[in-house]
A and B are shown apart, each in its own frame.
Chain A
């Protein structure tokens, strides 16, 4: 059920996880829209030639996926800040899991802090971060 009030949130609450679509057609669509047409994002062979494990998801696309997680949970939430650390590449055509959990709440400002992660199929964290969200 979607959340729209600060009072409905609890410390430790897990946001509903989802598997984002990071298939090649979707990433190509994103890179075209973002004018980031580089082989490391859209061509597995070219990416491997430069030492990557395959074509990788652009960082700002990962950040967008994490923001989408928040808005799937709380459609009216205002994201005040989203801060990401890119630990390891997220490979295009893989099936990562996007998760979030509430780790701080400020009753005065009605802002909650959320831990965010994108993990690969092996459960390894590839992208992590936090967001400050006003409800």
Chain B
């Protein structure tokens, strides 16, 4: 399956896309996506139910979160009540170590995103803060990356043995499907996705 693992909807403060329009766009443009993940900034949307859209468009629509740590931004897949109670998703000063360990404890997985990006990417903070233990997967292809940001992420994954995922980081409708993740197994739920990522069943792909 091919899933775009990093997108934002109007629920994020800097995004303008409605979820239904993402679906329409994928269908109209015949994008090779089987589904996508909504990873809203500094929050988890536990309310919205996209089952009707999934049925209407034949897509898998999953929900995650993008939180902010001292090492930059981190995608969290598999958010549940326990994890939501363990730290403040709205904070912009979370500890990456805490996010990684609490995600692991709660059956989720934390994935540093756009790690090659200045200021909000993990590698920019290694010199000052040192390396991080506990990372197994990073976002190696981000659709919003500029310059060498994705190259830096790929090099980082190669050097440290991380698996890589891809996501468009779409904030407007027409940006979905720029990057995605190929997963060998069938993904029908966020638990399926977390299992695949934990076992390294993921490969970043670019359509840019």
Contact = CB atoms under 8 A, between A and B. Distances in A.
A70 interface: no
The size class of the interface chain A forms with chain B is: 10 to 19
A94 B63 CA distance: 39
Contact of A85 (B21, B171, B173, B174): B171
A39 B21 CA distance: 41
Contact of B21 (A83, A87, A104, A125): A104
B160 interface: no
Contact of A104 (B14, B147, B171, B173): B173
Contacts of B171: 85, 128
A4 interface: no
Interface string A1-39: 000000000011000000000000000000000000000
Nearest to B17: A103
Contacts of B25: 12, 103
Interface residues of B, number: 18
Given A104-B18, A124-B146, A129-B16, A11 B24 contact: yes
B28 A12 contact: yes
| Chain B interface, DSSP helix/strand/loop, else mixed | loop
Contact of A11 (B28, B146, B172): B28
Interface string B142-171: 001011000000000000000000000001
Contact of B174 (A88, A103, A123): A103
B172 to A, nearest CB: 4
A66 interface: no
Interface in A97-117: 101, 103-104, 113, 115, 117
| Chain A interface, DSSP helix/strand/loop, else mixed | strand
A62 interface: no
Contact of A83 (B16, B146, B147, B175): B16
B172 A128 contact: yes
Contacts of A11: 24, 28
A42 interface: no
Interface of A: 11-12, 83, 85, 87-88, 101, 103-104, 113, 115, 117, 122-125, 128-130
Given A85-B16, A103-B21, A130-B172, 15 more contacts: A11-B24, A11-B28, A85-B14, A85-B171, A101-B174, A103-B24, A103-B25, A103-B174, A104-B24, A115-B173, A115-B175, A117-B172, A117-B174, A123-B208, A125-B144
7 contacts: A83-B16, A103-B21, A103-B172, A104-B24, A115-B175, A125-B144, A130-B16
